[in-house]
Amino acid sequence: MAAPIVTLATAEEFPHLDSDDQNLPDVLRERGMEPRIAVWNDPSVNWAEAGTVIVRSTRDYARDPKGFIGWAKSLPRVFNSPWAMEWNLDKHYLKGLQEVGLPTIPTTWLEPEQKLSKQQIHSRFPAWGDFVVKPAVSSGGRGTGRYTATDAKSRAEAILHAQYELERGRTVMVQRYLSEIDHSGETSLIYFNGLASHQVEKAAMLHPRYRSAMDSSIADEVVHAAAPSEKYWHWGERIRQALHSELRKFAGHDELLLFNRVDVVQGGPDSPEDFYVMEISLIDGSLYLGSSDEHLDRFANAIQVRVFDR
């Protein structure tokens, strides 16, 4: 009997997968599968012969979100499902999570159809502290800038950043930068097939010197595996339940997610919330498999269950 084919979808930028996923083909092969790697928008790929497709290093999907979802919907079998990825593609999903009671970072949404002037954009920025400007459809922090409200040059750059995105038809998010991120970083909670797998801690990536989305000074991600925290997993379960409620409303049915990453930041001493949801990753977000062989094995086991359970 031939080994079932598992195709790991990637971007042209990562023809051999990104560093976090590069050992995945070997462990899938050890479990009786035939792993392949293919660029999702490569016209020469015959996706009818791709078997089970696992979306991994598709970092460029935000350049062509409609094309990406159209590709996903054309596949016979893909994880996560096209409707889950479609829901997750645009960060407007944070509005839905907020409506069901989850604490999200307060956000001002600038929409292209509002035709905002420079002054109107300026008036929607915070009056004090640092803030972040980013497009609602983005991957890997691309197009994200940190600015200082009381610095005239920084504020002017933020206006130009917002205008750049809006003129290209993209919704812009303006969020207060939480100082707690600089003190304690972010925490990512990773789930496989609905089960809690591991927790990692991430240092702040947007340093105060990072003044422009066009700047290249965004820091490399510094990550380390963390001991499971009952407090964080309690938050994670609350988020996971809300997530599935929102997905059910969006698609009209339930589905078990192969992978799910939840990013949270702890509320500071003066914060009204214990934690805030930063984002949820159901498409290409790193699962931090390289931080431990155990994490890699768990993900391979999760894929094995889905591939052989047909």
The larger pLDDT score, comparing residue 266 to residue 297, is at 297
Residues 97 and 238 in one domain: yes
Is residue 16's pLDDT more than 60?
Answer: yes
Residue 294 lies in a domain: no
pLDDT of residue 223: 62
Q: Is the peptide bond before 80 cis (omega within 30 degrees of 0)?
A: yes
Alpha-carbon torsion, ordered 295, 56, 280, 260, to 10 deg: -40
Please give the C-alpha separations between residue 249 and each of 96, 148, 243, in angstroms, as whole numbers.
Answer: 10, 38, 10
pLDDT of residue 149: 94
Residue 85 lies in a domain: no
Are β-strands 145-148 and 107-110 bridged in parallel, bridged antiparallel, or unpaired?
unpaired
Residue 86 lies in a domain: no
Nearest CA to 248 among 8, 87, 44, 73? Answer: 87
Inter-residue contact 24 to 296 (CB < 8 Å): yes
Is residue 87's pLDDT more than 80?
Answer: yes
Q: Over the range 184-221, which residues count as b (16 or more CB within 10 Å of their CB) and which as e?
A: ebbbbbbbbbeebbbbbbbbbbbeeebbbbeeeebeee
CA angle 95, 82, 113 (to 5 degrees): 45
Inter-residue contact 103 to 277 (CB < 8 Å): yes
Question: Global pTM?
Answer: 0.89
What is the number of residues in the chain? Answer: 310
Give percent of the chain above pLDDT 90. Answer: 76
Give 201-241 pLDDT, tens digit per residue.
876 555 444 444 444 334 455 566 666 678 889 999 999 99
Mean pLDDT taken over the chain:
89
Residue that terminates a domain, selected from 176, 198, 225 = 176
Residues 187 and 269 in one domain: yes
Residues 241 and 99 in one domain: yes
Residues 190 and 276 in one domain: yes
Give 140-187 pLDDT, tens digit per residue.
777 899 999 999 999 999 999 999 999 999 999 999 888 777 776 789
| DSSP annotation of 229 | -
Mean local confidence (pLDDT), 272-300:
91
Number of independent structural domains in the chain: 3
pLDDT of residue 208: 45
Residues 186 and 275 in one domain: yes
Range of the domain at 260: 93-104+179-282
Residue that terminates a domain, selected from 145, 176, 207 = 176
Is residue 195's pLDDT more than 60?
Answer: yes
Residues 16 and 51 in one domain: yes
Residue 139 confidence class, pLDDT cut points 50, 70, 90: confident
Residues 234 and 100 in one domain: yes
pLDDT of residue 225: 67
Residues 49 and 184 in one domain: no
Residues 274 and 188 in one domain: yes
Mean local confidence (pLDDT), 35-45:
97
Give 88-119 pLDDT, tens digit per residue.
999 999 999 999 999 999 899 999 999 999 99
| Three-state DSSP state, 78 | strand
Residue 213 lies in a domain: yes
Residues 9 and 63 in one domain: yes
- 255: Cα separation from own chain's centroid: 19
pLDDT of residue 42: 97
**CATH code for position 99:** 3.30.470.20
User: What is the H or E stretch that residue 191 is in?
Assistant: strand 186-192
Is residue 1's pLDDT more than 80?
Answer: no
